[in-house]
Amino acid sequence: MEVTGNTDLELAKASFDRAVTFMQSGDAETAEQICRQALREVHIDPNLLCLLGASLIKQQKVDLAEKPLSRAVKMFPDFAPAHEGLGEVFMLQGKLPAALEYLQRAGELEPDNASVQLKLGKVLAGLGRTDEANNAFEESFKRTPHRQTLVEGLQRQRMGDLKGAEQQYRKVLRQDPDDVDALRLLAGLAMRAKQWSDAETLLKKALDLAPDFYQGWQDLGQALQEQDQMEAALEAYQRAARLKPTEAAPLTGAGTVAAMSGQHTDAIDYFQRALTKQQDNAGALAGLGHVLKTIGQQEEAVAAYRRCAELNPGHGEAYWSLANLETFRFEQQEVAAMNAQLAREDLPNEPRVNFLFALGKSHEDAGEYDSAFDYYRQGNELRRSAENYDPVNTIDTHDKLMDVFSAEFFAEREAWGNQSPAPIFIVGMPRSGSTLLEQILASHSLVEGTHELPELSRAAKSTRRFGMERRSYPKAVLDMTADDAAQVGEEYLQRSARHRRDQAPYFTDKLPNNFAHIGLLQLILPNAKVIDARRHPLDSCMGTYKQLFARGQPFSYDLYELGEFYLEYRRLMEHWHSVLPGKVLDVQYEDVVGDLDSQVRRILDFCELPFEQACIDFHRTERAVKTASSEQVRQPIYASSLHSWRRFEAHLGPLIEVLEPLLMTLPKQARPAALQS
């Protein structure tokens, strides 16, 4: 292992250290360049040859890596890393007998090397020598201080003992806080529990220690995406894509983030690039369908969904996405394919729910309402079993909101907050016409339509930083000053700006659940407008019950809970009308359908906007629409959806019972038969 002199030795060592730094940061290409340059300047060095091979393997240039590693083995036959590296090359090339020869030699030279034993196990398993492979794996575990503990944790995790698995992973971290595998596995448990912030912290620490950890970047992308940190999520997915340029998963993740951020052209590009890596990638095909639907390319969306279903028959989301297109109708063979999937005993619950809802829609389209409701019922019951929802907590939350945001509260804080009039909020229950109202407003030259923004609920959570004595929202707002309120309002405007694409003076925010935050809105943005989209209670609730939401709305999967939530929504809205008279405009869907011109003028007057004919001709406005109503708002207004609840009236007893006090206030002809007398 001699070199030509101290100068060469120092150069080799300095170059090696520099190259290692770049390898650890995930830049294998620069590491390769450093190694090649150094090898041109020094006589020879085994460490540089092996690191050059490793950098080429990292770039998936496996065939090129064979040359420097073979040279290292020939010139330094007792250097274990050279044998290990060449064995890895042959393993990746599928030349398992050759890989076995070199890895066995590496094991003889370094008997305590856990990495060599692990690779030996993989090669032996590939050769069908199961017992020897298991022995090699066991030897690897013995030589890695914490591996056996991690394996025990994994075994517990597979058996469903998540608490036991967590204890094993934390045991390792108490002994070695920098164990990357333990950090990754613990982060996986946090993601499974939807504790995204904890997962983010663990993954970032793991990536600080191992910057070229592909799966870590991929998981971090998801954790950031779930927290709506879209720019950071996109960077994480892009980093993963650079580390494994042949993988489709990071490109699919990047496409999803771009789509959620309204960057539809970029999203399509990412999904199409993912499909060049893996043509049957379900996430990319379904994601492509979602984007095409959003921008109004319905035929192309249907083609993408059908391609997804064809290549992935068990991917229920593709079928539900097709069913969720208002004008789409399943063909007989597609219905048969869905029923065949439901007959599978091993079908997981998530796709099963998708198939049930899709078949419900199929039978409803065929006028078979009893069968349709039965499918909807089954899908809702199965989905409800996976949701964590407490109706009592909803009542308690609303009570706290009404207690804090009283008439006295607002009287004492008049003219607080940011005075911008830009936001127009559209709130209400799902499936109550909010997308139609948004399309009407977005057709105005002074208004930009965004979509369902999470920013107001974020603003609510952010108030905790002002709360004294650890008070959380809503009580934390009692400790806010006028400057604090203005600051939170400004933060909302800044965060919502990333969802906007033009410089229109006004924009819509149509997240229905924002009805709970109208009090906060008055505090932080007193000049913002609020429109409450209302619809016949049974139409609204049945429309919600038939809808399979991607996330949120956990109250919607049980008729009793759905009815109770609807009453809670109305109770809270009555409070806002009482303490903030004139703040909210109620717009009834049936009135818009019956007299579009008058209702459009009423809405524009409330928003202090001049009348524009484009708002009447809203269906001609070209814009991206993400919600389930995207097709409806691209058509002239129609009345066929009015009173559609009557198709299912025979099955709505629990819902009618809960809503009876409200239903009895409606005209007799608008009530169900059971309440006619």
pLDDT of residue 295: 86
CB neighbourhood size of 131 (10 A): 8
- The radius of gyration of the chain's CA atoms, rounded to the nearest angstrom, is 30
Which whole-number Å values give the CA distances from 615 to 338, 443, 598, 602, 618, in the listed order?
41, 5, 12, 12, 5
Phi, psi of 507 (to 5 degrees): -145, 155
Confidence of residue 436 (pLDDT cuts 50, 70, 90): very high
Q: In 3D, which of 573, 585, 594 has the Cα closest to residue 643? A: 594
Q: pLDDT digit string (tens) for 251-266?
A: 999 999 999 888 899 9
Q: Provide the Cα torsion 129, 134, 139, 145; round to 10°.
A: 150
Residue 628 predicted with pLDDT over 70: no
Q: Chain centroid to CA 164: how far?
A: 28
Per cent of the chain over pLDDT 70 is 95
Residue 636 predicted with pLDDT over 70: no
Residue 443 predicted with pLDDT over 70: yes
Confidence of residue 42 (pLDDT cuts 50, 70, 90): confident
Which whole-number Å values give the CA distances from 214 to 203, 239, 249, 641, in the listed order?
11, 8, 11, 49
CB neighbourhood size of 669 (10 A): 7
Q: How confident is the model over 158-167, as a mean pLDDT?
A: 90
Is residue 45 helix, strand or coil? coil
Q: In 3D, which of 593, 603, 589, 594 has the Cα closest to residue 540? A: 589
Give the chain's mean pLDDT: 90
User: Per-domain residue ranges for the chain?
Assistant: 6-143, 159-359, 391-670
Residue 482 predicted with pLDDT over 90: yes
Which whole-number Å values give the CA distances from 225 to 222, 231, 257, 434, 661, in the listed order?
5, 9, 7, 25, 42
Q: Would you say the CATH fold of 391-670 matches that of 6-143?
A: no
pLDDT of residue 354: 96
Amino acid letter, 189: L
Query: What residues contact 163, with CB distance under 8 A and at least 6 apart?
Result: none
391-670 CATH pick, 3.40.50.620, 3.40.50.1970, 3.40.50.300, 3.30.70.1140? 3.40.50.300
How far apart, in whole angstroms, are the C-alpha atoms of residue 121 and residue 131?
A: 10
Residue 542 predicted with pLDDT over 90: yes
159-359 CATH pick, 1.25.40.10, 3.40.50.920, 1.10.600.10, 1.10.1760.20? 1.25.40.10
How far apart, in whole angstroms, are the C-alpha atoms of residue 440 and residue 448?
A: 11
Q: How confident is the model over 403-408, as a mean pLDDT?
A: 97
Q: How confident is the model over 550-565, as a mean pLDDT?
A: 93
CATH class of the structural domain 6-143: mainly alpha
pLDDT of residue 6: 54
Confidence of residue 622 (pLDDT cuts 50, 70, 90): low
Q: Chain centroid to CA 601: how far?
A: 38
Which is more confidently placed, 175 or 443? 443
> Please, what's the b/e burial string for 454-471 (b: 16 or more CB within 10 A of its CB; e: otherwise)?
bbbbbbbebbeebbeeee
pLDDT of residue 361: 96
Q: In 3D, which of 127, 123, 156, 153 has the Cα closest to residue 137? A: 123
How far apart, in whole angstroms, are the C-alpha atoms of residue 68 and residue 608?
A: 73
Confidence of residue 638 (pLDDT cuts 50, 70, 90): low
Amino acid letter, 287: G
Residue 429 predicted with pLDDT over 80: yes
pLDDT of residue 637: 66
Strand order in the sheet with 423-428: 447-449, 506-509, 423-428, 529-534, 584-588
